[in-house]
Amino acid sequence: MIEIDWPERSEPAPWRRDGGKVVVCVTIDVDAESPILARGDHYAEHLSTLSHQAFGPRKGLDRLLGVLRSSDVPATIFIPGETAVRWPSTVEAAAEGGYEVAFHGFSHRHPVHLSADEQRREVDAAIETLTRFGVDPVGYRAPNWEMHSVTLEHLAARGLRYDSSLMDDDEPYVLSLAEGRLAELPPHWSLDDWEQYFFVPEPDIGQRIVPPSQVLQLWSEELEAMRRWGGLLVLTLHPFLSGRASRARALEQFIELAQGYDDVEFATCDEIARRVLADQGEPIAP
Amino acid sequence: MIEIDWPERSEPAPWRRDGGKVVVCVTIDVDAESPILARGDHYAEHLSTLSHQAFGPRKGLDRLLGVLRSSDVPATIFIPGETAVRWPSTVEAAAEGGYEVAFHGFSHRHPVHLSADEQRREVDAAIETLTRFGVDPVGYRAPNWEMHSVTLEHLAARGLRYDSSLMDDDEPYVLSLAEGRLAELPPHWSLDDWEQYFFVPEPDIGQRIVPPSQVLQLWSEELEAMRRWGGLLVLTLHPFLSGRASRARALEQFIELAQGYDDVEFATCDEIARRVLADQGEPIAP
Amino acid sequence: MIEIDWPERSEPAPWRRDGGKVVVCVTIDVDAESPILARGDHYAEHLSTLSHQAFGPRKGLDRLLGVLRSSDVPATIFIPGETAVRWPSTVEAAAEGGYEVAFHGFSHRHPVHLSADEQRREVDAAIETLTRFGVDPVGYRAPNWEMHSVTLEHLAARGLRYDSSLMDDDEPYVLSLAEGRLAELPPHWSLDDWEQYFFVPEPDIGQRIVPPSQVLQLWSEELEAMRRWGGLLVLTLHPFLSGRASRARALEQFIELAQGYDDVEFATCDEIARRVLADQGEPIAP
Amino acid sequence: MIEIDWPERSEPAPWRRDGGKVVVCVTIDVDAESPILARGDHYAEHLSTLSHQAFGPRKGLDRLLGVLRSSDVPATIFIPGETAVRWPSTVEAAAEGGYEVAFHGFSHRHPVHLSADEQRREVDAAIETLTRFGVDPVGYRAPNWEMHSVTLEHLAARGLRYDSSLMDDDEPYVLSLAEGRLAELPPHWSLDDWEQYFFVPEPDIGQRIVPPSQVLQLWSEELEAMRRWGGLLVLTLHPFLSGRASRARALEQFIELAQGYDDVEFATCDEIARRVLADQGEPIAP
C-alpha cells in the first residue's frame, strides 16, 4: 500500500464578511494556444485548432471583461507565460482593467509530467515574464489542475500567497509547507467551463458541447446549495470557450443570480488569500 | 460457443413490508484515493487528482451523513480497506452514526483482473482491517462492479451474508454457492453517481459532468416506475462526488420524494439481506 | 478514389394504409451476453458485466412484452443464435406471445470483421438454431449494424424476406440482389436505446446514461416530424437496457403518444416487408 | 517556445445591412461517404456505415433544401469532390435550386495530415470536378476544419474569394496572404450538427446523440446572444445528420426564430465575402 505525501493543512482565518455564506471567485484562465502546443510542436501547423484557441485573446477575453466590468465584479486572471509572450495585450487588458493577474505555468505542460527542475523553471519563467509587464503575481494555478508537490513547495519558496489547484475542500484552507505558508483556494471540475464546452478533433482533450443554459443550471445549483452549507465557489472560465456570445450571456446570468443574494460576495483570489492567511481576529471588511 | 458458469440462484424470502412496492437502500462507497492508486503507483504524485478523491473523507462523507441523519434514513457504508487505513475517521463516523459498515475490497483493484489468490487476499485483508475497528462486516461490493466467481465463493466461505455486485435483477435473490448461501442485492450503473459526475484528466475512468437536477430526474424516474413493477432500488453514492453541495441537495430531494410515498421503504443492505435469507413465512416488521 | 459496391435498390410497393404517414416497427434485440463475449472469451469471467446483460432474458424481456401486450402493439424480436441456446425461454416467450421472431446473427460478431465463410456460417447457424424452436425466421438484423455484402447476398440466397441494417433512408425499399429480392427496413442509431443507456466498464462499447425522459423526448420528436414528411420509424430496444423500470415506462409513454395519432400505425417488420415486396396495386388492409 | 505563423488579418469592409446585428449563413456540408473512406479503404465494405452516410445524398439534402426553399432562406452548399463524382445529383440539386455551391476538399482528408503537394492537389481536383458541372466555386471549407497554411495560400493562388475554417472570431475578417486576399467567415464547433448527432461504431469520429430540441436550444442561445454583441452565425449542417426528420424540423424552428427578428439577416457565404472584401464606403443593399 503506497503512501501519499499530503502537504500539511490547517484552518483558515475568517474569510467571509459578516453574515456571508458564499464567496464567489471569478477566475479566467487565458490559455490561448498553450494547451494544444504543450501536446506537441506539430500542432503549430493545425491552423484551425490554434485559431479556435486564439479566439480567447482576440475576442473572448475582452467580452468577458466587459461582462465583469458592467456587473462590477472583481476577478483574477491566470495567464500562462507563453500567452503573455504571444498576446501581451491580454496582460495589459487585465492589469489596466484593475483585475488581479496571477499565473498558470509557462507552457501549460502539467507539473505531474515534468521533472523537478522543469517544474521549477516553469514557475520561475512565468513569474519573470509577468514581472516584465509590471505585474507581481501572488497566486498560481497548475495547468490542467495537475499539481505536484515540487511545484507546490516552489510556490512557497518564491513567496507566493496562494494556490488554486487542490480539490479536497470547498472552502479555503492553509497549506503549511517546508518553504512557507500558502492559502489554498480549491477549484473543481464541475465549476470549470472546459468539461461543458471544449471540442477540438485533436489532441483528444475534450469533445462535448452542451447548451450554455445547462451550464448555467449546473453552476446555479452549486451556488444555491453552497448558500446552505457555506463555501468558496471558484468559477473557472476560458476566454476561447466562455467568450463566445451565448456563454458570456450565461456568465452574466450567473452573476445576476449571485448578486441578488445578500449572503453571496464576489472577491479576487488574492483578497481571499489575504483573509485566509491573516492573523486570527483581524477584522474583515464588510 | 463459450460457456458461462452462472452461480445458482433461487427466490428470496419475502423482503418487503406489507403493501410495500419499493425498498431503497442508500449505499455509500468511500473510495477516496483507492480507485486512482489502483491504476498505478505513480498516481501518488498526482496531488490534484488525489485531492479530488480526498474530498470524500475530508468533507463529503460528513455532508452526506448529515443529510441522511436529518432525513432519518438508514444507509450502508462500503469502505475499501485502504480507505480505512488512510482515513480511520470514515469508519468511525459511519459506525458512530449507527450506519451499517460493509467492505469494498482492500485496494479497489477489480477482482476480474486479479489471480484467485489475490482475490482471496483482498477479501481477507479488508475484513481484517475493519475488524480492527470493531466492525464485523456482513456485506461486500466488488470494486468497479467487476465481480469474479472466486471472490463470490470466498465471500460465502467467510460467512458473509450478502453481496451487491450483480445486475441481473432489480429485486434481491439468493445465491446458492458451493461454500454457502448469499443474498444478492443488485445495484445498477444508472443508479450510481459516478457515470453522471466523475471527471479527472487521468486515469481515463470517467469524463462527464451533468447538473444534479438531471441526476435527480434520472433516479426519480426509476423510483416512480419501480412503484409500479416493484423493486429494490440500490442507490450508490461516492462522498468525493455526491458530497459536493448541489449533489448532496439532489440526494436530499430524492429522499424527500421517496419519503412521500407510502409504498416506499428505506433499509440497510443487511436488513434486506436478513429478510431475503429468512425462512419462508417469517414475518417482516412493518 | 475507391468504389463502393452498392446493392441495387428500387421503390417499394405501397406499404402504408390509407391516410397513414408513419409506421412504427417496435423491434427488440435480445442480445444478452453475446455482444460482450464476442469481444473475447475472457469476458466469460466478468460476472457483473455478464449479469448486466442477463437482466434481459431474466427480467427485461418479460417486462417489455408486458408493456406491448397491454398496449396491444405488435413487435419483432431479433434473437442471436447464442441467446436462443443460452436462454431458450426468450424464443419461447416471443413465439408464445404471438410476436414475430427474427434473427440477429449467431454470436453477435460483426459481419464486417468476419471472412465470407464465417459470415455465411453465422447466418446458417442462427437460422438452424431458431428452426429447432419451430420458428421460421424471415428477417435479419446485422450485429452492431455492421452489414457486409456477403451477408446481404446470403440472406437472399437463404430466401429471407427482409433485412433491417442499412440506414440510407427513413422509408422501406427493395434490394435487388444477385440471389433475389429483399425488403430493407432501415433502422437508425438515434432510434436505438444503446447510445442513450449503455454503460459497462469493459469492453469499451458505450459509456453514457441519460434519463428515460430525455430518450422519450428524442424519439417523440422524430415521431412528430415523421408525421409531416412520412416515414418508417424502426424503434430498437434491448431488454437488458430498456427493460429497466423507468425505461419501460418511457416506451409505454412513447406508445401512448403514437397511438393517439390517426396517421400512425404499428406493424411487425414482416408485415411491412410483405407489403413492400407485394406486386404493385395489391390493396393494403386498413 | 515554438512560433505560430499566423496569416496576416485585417478589418472587413462593412458587411451588415443598416441596423443589422447578426448575419446567419446556413451552410451544408455534403460529406456523404467521404469522411469514412478517408479513414481507410477497408471501410468500403462497411455497408451499414456507408449507408448511414448515403442518407445525405439520397434523402437528407432534398429535405434540407425543401426547408430552406419554403422558408426562402439562401444557403451555401459545400461539396467534397468525391461526393460530386459519386452523387452528381447533389451538385445539380444545389445549383438548380439557386444555392451557392462551394467546395470542401476532394477526398475529405484533413489538410494537416497531408503533404504540401497533396494539399494543393486536393484543392485543384475539387475545383476541376465542380467546374465540370458548370459551377465556378469561390469558397472553401477545410475537411474537419483542419486547415493548413499551404492550403490557405493555395486558395488565394487559385483566386478564391473566401474560406470558412478558422475560428478566431465570430465576425468575418480579411486574410492578407502572399498570394492574395481572402475573406474569412469563421465557423464554430458549437454551431455544427456533428458534435450533437454523429454516431457510428467505426471509425471513432463521434458517438453522441442528443434530442434536436436540445440542439435548437444551443443554436438559439447563440443567436439571441449575438443580437447583443453582433456576429456572423455560420450554421453548419450535414444532410446525413440534419436531414433526419426531427432535425430538419429543428432547423426550421431555428429559421422561424431568426426570421422573427428585424436585426437578423440570412445570406450566402459568397454574399458576405463580397461585402467583406469590398472597398470601404461601398453601400450594402438593405
D200 touches chain C (CB under 8 A): yes
Of A59, A201, A249, the CB nearest to D146: A201
Residue D224 lies in a domain: yes
Helix intervals (H) in chain C = 34-37, 47-55, 61-71, 81-86, 88-96, 116-131, 149-157, 194-197, 212-229, 239-242, 245-259, 269-277
Q: For D145, name the nearest residue in chain A, comparing CA atoms only.
A: A48
Cell 464567489 sits at which residue? A24
With 90 as the cut, is the pLDDT of residue B281 above it?
A: no
Contacts of D221 in chain A (CB under 8 A): 211-213, 246, 249-250
Q: Which amino acid is at B76?
A: T
- The DSSP code sequence of C205-263 is S-B----HHHHHHHHHHHHHHHHHH-EEEEEEE-HHHHTSHHHHHHHHHHHHHHHT-TT
Res. D26: pLDDT tops 70 = yes
CA distance A15 to chain D (A): 36
- pLDDT tens readout for residues D210-255: 999 999 999 999 999 999 999 999 999 999 999 999 999 999 999 9
Maximum distance among all Cα pairs of chain B, rounded to whole angstroms: 56
**The C-alpha cell that represents A271 in the structure block:** 483578497
Please return the burial class of B256, using the count of CB atoms within 10 Å of its CB with bins 0-12, 13-18 and 19+: exposed
Mean pLDDT of chain D: 97
Asked if residue C56 lies in contact with residue C243, where contact means CB atoms within 8 angstroms, the answer is: yes
CA A170/CA B56 separation, integer angstroms:
11
| pLDDT tens per residue across span B12-61 | 999 999 999 999 999 999 999 999 999 999 999 999 999 999 999 999 99
Residues 109-168 in B contacting C (C-alpha not used; CB under 8 Å): 112, 142, 144-149, 152, 165-168
Distances (CA, A) of C132 to C120, C143, C198: 19, 21, 31
Q: What is the pLDDT of residues A69-123, one digit of tens each?
A: 999 999 999 999 999 999 999 999 999 999 999 999 999 999 999 999 999 999 9
Neighbors of chain C by Cβ distance (3+ pairs < 8 Å):
B, D
Burial C119-128 (b: 16+ CB within 10 A, else e): bbebbebbbe
CA distance A244 to chain B (A): 21
Q: Considering only CA atoms, which of C188, C192, C172, C174 is closest in space to residue C232?
A: C172
> In the Cβ-directed half-sphere of B63, how many Cα atoms lie within 13 Å?
30
A13 in a domain, yes or no?
Answer: no
Which H or E run includes D82? helix D81-86
Give D266 to chain C, closest Cα distance, Å.
Answer: 24
Mode of pairing for the β-strands spanning B22-29 and A139-140: unpaired
Cα–Cα dist B110/B127, whole Å: 17
What is the residue type of D180?
G
pLDDT at B91 over 90: yes
Q: Which pLDDT does position B67 carry in this prediction? A: 98
Q: Which residues of A touch D222 (CB under 8 A)?
A: 244-246
pLDDT tens, D169-182? 999 999 999 999 99
**pLDDT of D283 higher than 60:** no
Q: Which residues from D are below 8 Å from A245, CB to CB?
A: 170, 222, 225-226, 228-229, 231
Q: Are A52 and D167 in contact (CB under 8 A)?
A: yes
Please report the number of interchain residue pairs, chain A to chain B, with beta-carbon separation below 8 angstroms: 109
* Chain A interface test: which of D113, D169, D190, D214 (most A C-beta within 10 Å): D190
Interchain contact, B189 vs C248, CB within 8 Å? no
> How far does the CA of residue B32 sit from the closest CA of chain C (Å)?
19
C129 CA to chain D: closest CA distance, Å?
25
Spatial distance between the Cα atoms of C240 and C106, rounded to a whole number of angstroms: 18
Q: CA distances (Å), D104 to each of A79, D28, D145, D154, in order? A: 36, 10, 10, 14
Residues of A in contact with D149 (CB under 8 A): 45, 47
Paired strand residues for D235: D26
Asked if the bond preceding D286 is cis, omega within 30° of 0, the reply is: no
- Residue C155 identity: L
Nearest chain C residue to B222 by CA distance is: C246
Q: Is D176 on the interface with C (CB under 8 A)?
A: no
User: pLDDT band for position A284 (50/70/90)?
Assistant: low
Three-class DSSP category at C277: helix
pLDDT at A285 over 60: no
Is D142 close to A199, i.e. CB distance below 8 A? no
C165 chain-D contacts, CB cut-off 8 A: 47-48
User: Which residues of chain C fall below pLDDT 70?
Assistant: 280-286
- What number is the average pLDDT over the span B68-79? 98
Q: Do C224 and D249 touch (CB under 8 A)?
A: yes
**Cell numbers 432547423: residue:** D251
Taking contacts as CB-CB distances below 8 angstroms, the residues of chain D near A61 are none
- The pLDDT, as a whole number, for residue B149 is 98
Amino acid at D34: S
Average confidence score pLDDT of chain B:
97
Q: Which residue of A has its CA nearest to B203?
A: A146
Host domain of residue B67: 19-279
Does residue D281 surpass a pLDDT of 80? no
Q: What is the mean pLDDT of residues B83-88?
A: 98
Question: In angstroms, rounded to a whole number, what is the distance separating the alpha carbons of residues C31 and C83?
Answer: 7
| B58–A168 C-beta distance less than 8 A | yes
Can you tell me the mean pLDDT for B86-98? 98
pLDDT score recorded for residue C285:
53
CATH (domain of B53)? 3.20.20.370
SS3 call for B1: coil
Contact D43, D203 (CB under 8 A): yes
Nearest to residue D223, comparing CAs of D274, D276, D170? D170
Give a yes or no: residue D134 inside a domain. yes
Handedness of CA C210, C216, C217, C218 (dihedral sign): positive
Residues of C in contact with D51 (CB under 8 A): 147, 166-168, 186
- Distance between CA atoms of residues D173 and D184, nearest Å: 5
Cis-peptide, bond into residue B203, ω within 30° of zero: yes
DSSP strand E in chain B: where? 8-10, 22-29, 76-79, 100-103, 139-140, 162-163, 173-177, 180-184, 231-237, 264-266
B283 pLDDT exceeds 70? Answer: no
Q: Residue D91 falls within a domain, yes or no? A: yes
pLDDT of res. B35: 98
CB < 8 Å to B34, chain A = none
Size of interface A-D (CB pairs under 8 A): 108
Verdict on whether the full-model pTM lies above 0.95: yes
Cβ atoms of D78 and D27 within 8 Å: the answer is yes
Of all residues in chain D, the one with the smallest CA distance to C169 is D55
User: Is D209 in CB contact (< 8 Å) with chain C?
Assistant: yes
CB C173 within 8 A of CB C10: yes
Q: How confident is the model at residue B116 (pLDDT cuts 50, 70, 90)?
A: very high
| Chain B contact set for A4 (CB, 8 A) | 33, 37, 44, 50, 86
Residue to mutate among A9, A119, A140, A167, with most B CBs inside 10 A, is A167
Tell me whether residues C189 and D58 touch, CB distance under 8 A.
no
Q: Which residue has the cell 452516410?
A: D53
Condensed to tens digits (0 to 9), the pLDDT of residues B98-111 reads 999 999 999 999 99
Are D51 and C166 in contact (CB < 8 Å)?
yes
> CB–CB of B45 and A229 under 8 A?
no
Measured between CB atoms, does A5 come within 8 Å of chain B? yes
The kind and range of the H/E element at D264 are strand D264-266
Write down which chains contact chain B via at least 3 CB pairs under 8 A.
A, C
C-alpha grid cell, residue B81: 480497506
> How many domains does the structure of chain D reveal?
1
Query: Which H helix or E strand runs over C27?
Result: strand C22-29
**Contacting residues for B146 by C-beta, under 8 A, at least 6 apart:** B110, B111, B112, B113, C46, C48, C49, C201, C202
Residue B240 lies in a domain: yes
Q: What is the distance in angstroms between the Cα of A130 and the nearest Cα belonging to chain B?
A: 25
pLDDT exceeds 60 at position B285? no
Whether A166 sits inside 8 A of B47 (CB atoms) is yes
D162 in Cβ contact with D181 (< 8 Å): no
C203 within some domain: yes
Q: Both ends of chain A: CA-CA distance in Å?
A: 48
- Residue A281 pLDDT > 80: no
pLDDT in tens, C206-261: 999 999 999 999 999 999 999 999 999 999 999 999 999 999 999 999 999 999 99
Nearest Cα of chain A lies from the Cα of D62 at a distance, in angstroms, of 28
Which pLDDT score, from 0 to 100, does residue A283 have?
54
On whether residue C5 sits in a domain, the answer given is no
- Asked if residue D9 belongs to a domain, the reply is no
Residue appearing with cell numbers 459506525? B95
Query: How far, in Å, are A117, A184, B59, C184 from residue B55 at the CA level?
Result: 30, 14, 5, 54
